[in-house]
Amino acid sequence: MSVLYFFESIRTTLLDQLFTALTFFGEEILILTVICLLYWCLDKRLAYQLCFTYFLAGLGAQCLKVLCRIPRPWVLHTDFQPVDTAIPTATGYSFPSGHTQGATALYGTLGLAKWQTHASHRRLFLLGGLLLPALVGISRMYLGVHTPQDVITGYLLSLAVALPVSWYFAKRPKKDTASLSLAALLFFFSALVSIVAVYLIHTGVTNAVLASDCCKAGAAGMAFAVGWFVEKNYIRFPTTGPLAFQAAKLLLGAAGALLIKSGGKVLLGEGIPADMLRYFLLVIWVMILYPILIKAADKRMRKK
């Protein structure tokens, strides 16, 4: 806690704003936007690589959260006060840091991908991919919502997943089909994470509020496993198109995703089953339903 008390002692309005801006680079909404942009418009293969890292590391992080059940710093130390504006984003348990894990999955994967292409300035991209998540982690400590242990574990967890995933994709540069066994393994692991969380809720070890993120991560992972297998083997939508078409594609797809994520709460209500269904449908929209519409629109556009 000494690191957090130090950051608390140097807080200013300007630093609060700076580190709040930095922490946004690890927000779920930003990561999902980058994934959608890559997947729908730019580089489907890189999007898959990113998704494997993000979902696997996220499942690991959420599983650790409900198994370790370490409260937030201000809960353990009542004399400590986090930055008020950061509290709404600090959901669930403290260990490990989800923002740091997500940022490392995103920027670390992009840096590794650039490194593997042997492109110019690849060392700079790799350095940025390692440095930016570290800054996100520091921002979480400055804001008082995570300890150094939380941040370091989230950082190393995503790196531990990103490296073998990058190796896997590098060894299969032209593989056009998805493995049923790999998709089934990912689906099973995702389901197991959700089952563990639901069991811990049912037995009273934790509660629905603190374990909600774990259940949502499991549902999203199951949907990604299904979506990856179905799209790679059966849909195979194109990512190219005129600039106006690409922009419209991204905006309409994002609007649909936002409608499911936010509007689903109104239609489905609150609770673990509703949250899981909402996140499952969100990823299915991104991975399967919207790509079907993209493929149909592309065919119609080419006929004109």
| Beta carbons within 8 Å of 211's beta carbon, 6+ residues apart | 66, 92, 197, 198, 200, 201, 272
What is the per-residue pLDDT across 116-166, written as a single tens digit (0 to 9) for each?
776 677 788 888 889 999 999 999 999 999 999 999 999 999 999 999 999
Shared domain for 192 and 168, answered yes or no, is: no
User: Is the C-alpha dihedral spanning 138, 140, 143, 147 positive or negative?
Assistant: negative
The whole-number pLDDT of residue 74 equals 87
What is the per-residue pLDDT across 19-52, written as a single tens digit (0 to 9) for each?
999 999 999 889 999 999 999 999 999 999 999 9
* Predicted TM-score (pTM) of this structure: 0.91
Shared domain for 28 and 62, answered yes or no, is: yes
Rounded-to-integer distance, Cα 55 and Cα 61, Å = 10
Rounded-to-integer distance, Cα 98 and Cα 150, Å = 9
The whole-number pLDDT of residue 286 equals 96
Shared domain for 214 and 270, answered yes or no, is: yes
Shared domain for 293 and 150, answered yes or no, is: no
What is the per-residue pLDDT across 91-104, written as a single tens digit (0 to 9) for each?
888 999 999 999 99
What is the tally of structural domains in the chain? 2
Q: What region does 177 belong to: left with phi over 0, alpha with psi -120 to 50, or beta? A: beta
Shared domain for 304 and 191, answered yes or no, is: yes
| Average model confidence (pLDDT) across the chain | 91
Shared domain for 252 and 287, answered yes or no, is: yes
Shared domain for 161 and 231, answered yes or no, is: no
Query: Domain boundary residue among 147, 174, 201?
Result: 174
Shared domain for 135 and 183, answered yes or no, is: no
The whole-number pLDDT of residue 119 equals 65
Shared domain for 134 and 203, answered yes or no, is: no
Residue 304: pLDDT band by 50, 70, 90 thresholds?
low
Shared domain for 77 and 129, answered yes or no, is: yes
The whole-number pLDDT of residue 90 equals 83
Between 221 and 170, name the one with better pLDDT. Answer: 221
Question: Please, which contacts does 78-85 make with residues 24 or more away whose CB atoms are closer than 8 Å?
Answer: 80/1, 80/4, 80/5, 80/8, 80/144, 81/8, 81/144, 82/143, 82/144, 82/145, 83/11, 83/16, 83/19, 83/20, 83/142, 83/143, 83/144, 85/16, 85/20
Query: Domain boundary residue among 117, 152, 174?
Result: 174
Shared domain for 15 and 139, answered yes or no, is: yes
Which class for 145: exposed (0-12), middle (13-18), buried (19 or more C-beta within 10 A)?
buried
Instruction: Flag whether pLDDT at 173 surpasses 70.
Output: no
The whole-number pLDDT of residue 118 equals 65
* % of the chain at pLDDT higher than 70: 98
The whole-number pLDDT of residue 275 equals 92
Residue 177: pLDDT band by 50, 70, 90 thresholds?
confident
Query: Domain boundary residue among 122, 142, 174?
Result: 174
> Which residues span the domain enclosing 166?
1-174
Shared domain for 137 and 240, answered yes or no, is: no
What is the per-residue pLDDT across 252-296, written as a single tens digit (0 to 9) for each?
999 999 899 887 777 877 889 999 999 999 999 999 999 999 999
Contact 59, 221 (CB under 8 A): yes
